[in-house]
Structure 1
Amino acid sequence: MFVFKQVGLFDFWYWMSSNLLILLSLVFVLDKSNGQEILRDLREKALQKVFIGILAALALFIVFYVGNVVIRLVFERAGEGIQNVYSFKQEASPLRIGLLMLLIIGPGEELFWRAYLQRRFGLKFGKMAGFILATLLYTAVHVATGNMVLVLAALICGIFWGWLYMRYQ
């Protein structure tokens, strides 16, 4: 998906969205307990989780804002890596990207990486091992881009979101 950014009418954003929908469909068909667990999780302290989510988004924004400055000082070619992340935008409109991120990609990634994989790994190997395994896998899928700045960002996000899931699930 990262390598083939455009195939026919499907650009990166449509590929990512459709792949997530297929993955999640398989998860829900093959593991009925996962859907029940997600519904149970959504019912518990929903308002608190929304508030934590907003604070977490703000914290992650600050981390990446500061990280942008620091990484450019430490690695002279980091700016190029950061710019390459934005090349995934391609010809897609900001509205389409925003809607896909809000409605499919953001929730879909959390449902797959945290609510499914991290939870399953946690049940099998223990919470901390599940957190570490899910984070490493989440980071590893970004290696195909060849963009180490994106891989580092994925590692940071994987740690951050994985810890939040482990702490507040």
Structure 2
Amino acid sequence: MIKKLPDIRLIVGFLIAHVLMYFTFMDRSIFWYMFTATMLCLISYSILNEEIDDEQTFGTYFIYGVFSGLLLYVIFWTGYAIIDILNLPFLNSISSLYGRYAPSNIWQYIVLLFILVPGEEIFWRGFIQKRVMKYTTVTTAVFISSLLYASVNLYSGYWILAIAALVGGIFWGYLYAWKRSIPLLIVSHIVFDLVLFIIFPLI
């Protein structure tokens, strides 16, 4: 049965995310500190208000996580290659985005892998999308939650980051709806970030 009453916890959680992400992107010099604090707050809010799904075995979520993370990187690489071939103006934005927000030292990689990635999956898929799915169809819920995920990235000043978040949100959103495993999504997101930032950066 589809619920009709407003989900106050969902609305409050989304508003908290917007406020925190606004301040996160305000000052580049403290971005990594603010982003870490923001995700810790959103993780706490999520686990206080929603159970974390883990319906897959370790082997299943590890294998699906690794392969899906690599697949998403291929999708992003293909998009970047098309932008490069067509010489679209997004190219400069991607380069600038890497320079401004990509991790640059060991502690940033540590918080990326152990706080930021898990936090994003726990909050945006395990809390926001899961609650939206109570009100509508899977496809609608995936697109709504992905748009919400993309919206907080607009504070960065880079449309390309919001577009990337939208694409990633749709990909991980469908994966979550299919497998109902937050650990799987975390592995997928970690693999994607490792390839994107360390192994084969786009820039």
Q: TM-score range by the shorter chain?
A: 0.7 to 0.9
Unaligned ranges ≥5, structure 1: none
- Residue 139 of structure 1 corresponds to 150
Map residues 106-145 of structure 1 onto 2, 5 A cutoff: 106-145=117-156
Which stretch of structure 1 is more off in the superposition, 12-21 or 65-74?
Answer: 65-74
| Residue among 7, 18, 29 paired with 2:37 | 18
> Does the 8 A contact of 2:146 with 2:173 survive in 1?
yes
Contact 1:12/1:88, CA 8 A, preserved across alignment: no
Matched, 1:5 2:28: yes
2:91 counterpart letter in structure 1: G
- Tell me how large the CA RMSD over aligned residues is: 1.8
Structure 1 residue 80: deviation in Å? Answer: 1.2
Give the percent of matched residue pairs that are identical in Structure 1 and Structure 2: 29
Q: TM-score, with normalisation over the residues of structure 1?
A: 0.83
**One-letter amino acid matched to 1:137:** L
Specify the code of the residue in structure 2 equivalent to 1:158: G
1:78 aligned to which of 67, 72, 90? 90
Aligned pairs (5 A) from 1:90-101 = 93-101=104-112
1:149 to 1:73, Cα distance in 2 relative to 1, 3 A: farther
User: What count of residue pairs does the alignment treat as equivalent?
Assistant: 157
CA shift at 1:81, angstroms? Answer: 0.5
Contact 1:81 1:149 in 2 (8 A): yes
Shift of 1:63: 1.3
- Give 1:127 deviation, angstroms: 2.3
| Residue of 62, 65, 76 corresponding to 2:74 | 62
How much does 1:43 deviate? 5.5
Q: TM-score, normalised by structure 2?
A: 0.70
Letter matched to residue 124 of structure 1:
Y
Structure 1 segments of 4+ aligned residues over 3 angstroms from their partners: none
Unaligned runs of 5+ in 2: 1-23, 181-203
Larger RCO, structure (CA 8 Å, separation 6 or more): 2
Q: Per-residue displacement from partner, 1:32-87 (whole Å, max 9, x unpaired)?
A: xx23xx1xx33632320111010011111111222111112335322211012113
- Determine the C-alpha separation between the residues in 2 that align with 1:124 and 1:23: 22
